[in-house]
Amino acid sequence: MSTTQWIRDPATQTATPRALEGIKVVEMGQLIAGPFCGKTLGEFGADVVKIEAPGAGDPLRNWRLIQDGTSVWWQVQSRNKRSVALDLRQAEAQALARQLIAEADVLVENFRPGTLEGWGMAPEQLHAINPGLVILRISGYGQTGPYRDLPGFGVIGEAMGGLRHLTAEPGRVPVRVGVSIGDTLAALHGVIGVMMALYHRKVQGGPGQVIDVALHEAVFNVMESLLPEYSAFGAVREAAGSALPGIAPSNAYPCQDGWVLVAGNGDSIFKRLMTTIGRQDLADDAQLADNAGRVARVAEIDAVIGAWTQGQSVQQVMEQLAAARVPAGKVYTAKDIAEDPHYRAREMILTQRTRDGHAVEVPGVVPKLSRTPGTVRSNAPHVGDDTDAVLAEVGLSSEQIAQLRAKGIIQ
């Protein structure tokens, strides 16, 4: 976007450029991991140009619930982006993509390894025309190793990364988290990599570089003590349902009208919890004064808490535990989130208007920056909405653009 967009710094009431103002990103990917990375960069001011195929565009446009022919998920994933429709199967379209990349700071792609190379866009070729380019490559298994050429989606990364083995009730089939957490974790690791590479380039004067993010590695990176416990003790952590093995008490407990999650695993918190539920004997029990003692008697503790919660509503339990400063939470549905005043107070529910004129509530922007907060500046585009404008920015005339469109190279 050619003009600087300023925001007002709430601390100084002066105009401040956005955190990533002036950073140009070319997003060449689809569905979840790469586009989520592009979404995050765009929310903090980067100019994100999304290259997608003419016609249907990114398949995410047609995933899940549809409004006027477009997924409402699309309205979140592609806000603050400009859409350029190029048929990358054609050499002329590949040349156009290289023109866009030549002027970019960041390239984001989540194709199978070798795809860019087949289009004449290997990292060394791109760095020859743009030495400072930061290239983020997200794939199932990474750009190296014996599995690099295997197809990999987020669910496979969750399985290989160790997460799926733990997401189940003991002895039952592993279940998915419910969202594409493997893709999103990879995207967030990608954002971290991009920011470090941009810092290296700007502050340390380094050249551009390649960031290689594998889906399964992003999942594995958040698996806490899984591997060290196996290495040190030969312990294979198993599924434990809603409990947190080795930390007690922390579980989901039944109420009259639902479930409540209680995390009473701090030493002083545990004492307050037991006092609140009328079990002063357990609050004063020296064997339960620390986590190791509570873990040894976790079944007893869980049964005591469950007996207390099941005679009350979720709201009653929540009110009593809040008064005692014991961390507790209900299991939220989408309806609960939409109606919660805390979400709205923190601007985590925003109303966007789609390009077809519909108002839809969407998640707000995280993280919260005090001086350069992220914002939603434009709604998600239709396929090719910005093709002409973006190609004009790299020097193509209206006649050249018309000729490319006539040949089916662009939309």
Annotated catalytic residue, options 183, 302, 385, 386: 183
For residues 216-231, b (16+ Cβ closer than 10 Å) or e, as one string?
Answer: bbbbbeeeeebeeeee
Cβ–Cβ < 8 Å for 139, 152: yes
Cβ–Cβ < 8 Å for 375, 18: yes
| Residues in contact with 225: Cβ distance below 8 Å, sequence separation at least 6, in sequence order | 237
Catalytic annotation on 212? no
Of the candidates 343, 338, 356, the one whose C-alpha atom is nearest the C-alpha of residue 72 is: 356
Cβ–Cβ < 8 Å for 71, 62: yes
Q: What is the 3-state secondary structure (H, E, C) of the chain?
A: CCCCCEEECCCCCCEEECCCCCCEEEEECCCCHHHHHHHHHHHCCCEEEEEECCCCCCHHHHCCCEECCEEHHHHHHCCCEEEEEECCCCHHHHHHHHHHHHCCCEEEECCCCCHHHHCCCCHHHHHHHCCCCEEEEEECCCCCCCCCCCCCCHHHHHHHCCCCCCCCCCCCCCCCCCCCHHHHHHHHHHHHHHHHHHHHHHHCCCCCCEEEEEHHHHHHCCCCCHHHHHHHHCCCCCCCCCCCCCCCCEEEEEECCEEEEEECCCHHHHHHHHHHCCCHHHHCCHHHCCHHHHHHCHHHHHHHHHHHHCCCCHHHHHHHHHHCCCCEEECCCHHHHHHCHHHHHCCCEEEEECCCCCEEEEECCCCCCCCCCCCCCCCCCCCCCCHHHHHHHCCCCHHHHHHHHHCCCEC
Look up residue 4 and give its amino acid: T
Q: Which residues are catalytic?
A: 183
